[in-house]
Structure 1
Amino acid sequence: MSDRRIALWTVALVALIAAIAYRISVFSEPPPPPTPQIVFITGGSGPYWQSAVAGAKSAARATDVELAVAMPQADESLEQQMEILMNLAPDVDGIAISPIDAAGQTHLINKLVEKMRVVTFDSDAELSERHSHVGTSNFSAGRTCARMVGEALPEGGEIAVLMANQTKENLIDRRGGFQERISQMAIDDDNPSAPPRYVVVGYFEDNGSDQRCAQNIRDALAKFPGLDCFVGLNARHGPVLIATLKELGKLGQIKLVTFDALPQTLDAIEQGQIYATIAQDPYNFGYQAVTTLAKLCQGHGTDLPIVGKGSNYLGAEAIKQDNLDNFRDKLRERQQATETSKPNTEKPAA
């Protein structure tokens, strides 16, 4: 074979190899993107927050993200939640958080938004630059709560309202909706000049302490011996009310309207000790918050709400004796479905 032919074959072989290499580089699939690292930050560690965590874990399994859970050990502990926020690992791609102090945490949330995706759940920080929010319309839930008080006390009466604090945006809205509706109901349409039918004797804050809440109940009863109703705006308040009023020998003598669906609260509704509770869906808060973060981190967030600053509002429902069994059935179905789903590789929060 001549030198010229050898040279031609060499050139052809090199060209073929280059063409094959080019096709491989063009048509081969790109490497998969890194798995998003998400931290789910609650406002406490009680049963309500455990339900939200269960939803977050289910979403992590469904969306292929790596989830870390960070829970302040004390409910409504701003100090503990801030410590978590200040010590986030540098590789975190997004956080879901229920802010305890909306106004006080807005600046820090805005700084975090510069580095990662931020979704609020349960309680919002509406004036921050967070990317989305998952929760319920707490103003509407407060109005529903007032309506339940009206059913429990059709003739009117004195009401004491328990709340953790007045810094969480959901509690601010909840109180606002309750106050607006109860004030409207207090007016006698047939005699507008008559004294109000419903009187709120006070809003009693406990900063997440069950002991302080119990003392607030005792103080309210001592100061207002004719008190007709307690309203509890936080999930913890139902069980604390039952235990404290039982201790004082007043269980069943005072109407109770509460929030959320802890097992003790549902048992008390069944026994006629609580008239109604306003049930939210913390499991779905957690599920939707992590699902939203996954979409944002993976570049698929175009279907998120474009109005309301990306807010996604879920419903709240008054649970009474007449719909209690149906509600419990739904809770059991969800729990069974959650238990049969495969475990995810959750890592501890940094």
Structure 2
Amino acid sequence: MLKLLSLILIFIFTVSFFAGCGNTAKQQQQSQPSNQSIKIAVIVKALNSDYWKIVEAGAKAAGKDLGVDVVVLGPSAETAVSEQVAMIEDQITKKVSALAVAPSQPPSAIPFFDKAKQAGIPVVLIDTDANWQDKVSFVGTGNFNGGKLAGEFLAQKLGKGGKVVIIRGAMGDPTHDERANGAIEVLKAQGLEILDVQPANSERGLGMTVMENMLQAHPDIQGVFATNDEMALGAVRAIQAANKNIVVVGFDGSPDALKSIAAGELTASVAQSPYNIGYKGVEAAVKAVKKEAVDKRIDTGTYIISKENVEQEQKKLNEILGK
């Protein structure tokens, strides 16, 4: 009888153990959504410029490659902040699996990111970071490293003792701080002289005015780093008007900058990769939905576009934009 009772108890324990394992496996399957059921909402600053269209192309390519549903939304203009936050709120109401957002005005978006968190929707920030501790990741340009690339290019072109000025975006803007500081670090290390650093608020017209003033104050300028292409293109106009030959490096790799490089006006631009921002943003969002590890910062890369590779870059850009 004791032997029989022991056998019965062993049998019951074994059945219970395997049933428990089966339930655990089922629970794990249920907590791991299939790719077909995942919907990622990518909300950018606007969809009325080539830059954001390239971000959209990257996001949609990632959706196709990963087998997930991706919707890309954007307001009518980058200044339409209330329109953008309404889109974020709408996607939370629709219970998307995750959000990938390029916030036009980060402080205005944070309360809606909090709503997403309360709804159990992970948020990845793309292109523009926000001081929000619950983000899954920031996916975007390493601005400091991009600035270093610009500094290295100028150092290579001008050599030790070269005289350089920096035209930057608004004082206190962290993006432009990082770009300027990266260039300054390299220029100083390579023995170039930084004659002046002045803001031009990322505007082409103001970039021209600031460059005109710098040429008056420092007629021996040999090189310029502008922390975006708009200011660089403004600087080029001032230099042409003064009939000077000066190396000018911008930042963004914008279509207008590429045209100027191809025409032999702007010397170079540090290109961002908006395609990678869209692609890797979706990739990070999908990993978050599946509860996989995601790096807190994902650098989407920067590289120099100059006369040597501009034609190839223009072709690539036209293919992405379907031109």
Q: TM-score, normalised by structure 1?
A: 0.67
> Contact conserved, 1:109 with 1:129, CA < 8 A, in 2?
no
> Contact conserved, 1:122 with 1:285, CA < 8 A, in 2?
yes
The alignment covers a number of residue pairs equal to 285
Give the 3-state SS of the residue equivalent to 1:159 in structure 2. Answer: strand
> Contact conserved, 1:38 with 1:67, CA < 8 A, in 2?
yes
Deviation at 1:265, TM superposition (A): 1.8
Give the 3-state SS of the residue equivalent to 1:160 in structure 2. Answer: strand
* Distance across 1 between alignment mates of 2:227 and 2:256: 16
* Distance across 2 between alignment mates of 1:43 and 1:165: 24
Q: 264, 280, 298: which one pairs with 1:312?
A: 298
Greater relative contact order, per chain length (Cα 8 Å cut-off, separation 6+) = 1
Q: 262, 265, 269: which one pairs with 2:254?
A: 262
Amino acid at match of 1:140: N
* Distance across 1 between alignment mates of 2:233 and 2:58: 23
> Contact conserved, 2:45 with 2:104, CA < 8 A, in 1?
no
Q: 64, 69, 73: which one pairs with 2:73?
A: 69
Give the 3-state SS of the residue equivalent to 2:190 in structure 1. Answer: helix
Deviation at 1:211, TM superposition (A): 3.8
Residue correspondence of structure 1 range 31-50 to structure 2 within 5 A: 36=39, 38-42=41-45, 45-50=48-53
Q: 1:271 to 1:250 in 2, by over 3 A?
A: farther
> Which region of structure 1 is more displaced relative to structure 2, 131-140 or 39-48?
39-48
Q: Does 1:300 align with 2:290?
A: yes
- Provide the residue aligned with 1:217 in structure 2: 211
Q: 117, 125, 135: which one pairs with 2:122?
A: 117
> Which region of structure 1 is more displaced relative to structure 2, 155-164 or 213-222?
213-222
> Contact conserved, 1:161 with 1:200, CA < 8 A, in 2?
no
* Distance across 2 between alignment mates of 1:39 and 1:290: 8
Q: 1:165 to 1:86 in 2, by over 3 A?
A: farther
Deviation at 1:96, TM superposition (A): 2.3
- Provide the residue aligned with 1:198 in structure 2: 193
Give the 3-state SS of the residue equivalent to 1:287 in structure 2. Answer: helix
* Distance across 2 between alignment mates of 1:84 and 1:156: 45
Deviation at 1:70, TM superposition (A): 1.3
Residue correspondence of structure 1 range 93-242 to structure 2 within 5 A: 93=96, 94-99=98-103, 104=107, 107-108=110-111, 111-114=114-117, 115=119, 116-125=121-130, 128-154=133-159, 155-163=161-169, 166-167=172-173, 169-186=174-191, 197-206=192-201, 208-242=202-236
Q: 1:69 to 1:101 in 2, by over 3 A?
A: closer
> Contact conserved, 2:43 with 2:102, CA < 8 A, in 1?
no
- Provide the residue aligned with 2:11 in structure 1: none
- Provide the residue aligned with 2:23 in structure 1: none
Give the 3-state SS of the residue equivalent to 2:94 in structure 1. Answer: coil
Q: Which runs of 5+ in 1 are unaligned?
A: 1-25, 187-196, 341-350
Percent sequence identity over matched residues? Answer: 20
Q: Superposition RMSD on alpha carbons, in Å?
A: 3.6
Q: Over alpha carbons, which structure has the higher Rg?
A: 1
Deviation at 1:179, TM superposition (A): 2.1
Give the 3-state SS of the residue equivalent to 2:257 in structure 1. Answer: helix
Deviation at 1:204, TM superposition (A): 0.8
Deviation at 1:231, TM superposition (A): 1.6
Deviation at 1:214, TM superposition (A): 3.8
* Distance across 2 between alignment mates of 1:44 and 1:198: 41
Amino acid at match of 1:304: V
* Distance across 1 between alignment mates of 2:125 and 2:162: 37
Deviation at 1:198, TM superposition (A): 1.2
Amino acid at match of 2:247: K
Residue correspondence of structure 1 range 54-65 to structure 2 within 5 A: 54-62=57-65, 63-65=67-69
Deviation at 1:279, TM superposition (A): 1.6
* Distance across 2 between alignment mates of 1:100 and 1:224: 37
Q: 1:323 to 1:170 in 2, by over 3 A?
A: same
Deviation at 1:328, TM superposition (A): 4.3
- Provide the residue aligned with 2:265 in structure 1: 273
Q: Which runs of 5+ in 2 are unaligned?
A: 1-25
Deviation at 1:286, TM superposition (A): 1.1
Amino acid at match of 1:258: G
* Distance across 1 between alignment mates of 2:113 and 2:195: 37
Q: 1:279 to 1:106 in 2, by over 3 A?
A: same
> Contact conserved, 1:48 with 1:235, CA < 8 A, in 2?
no
* Distance across 1 between alignment mates of 2:155 and 2:112: 39
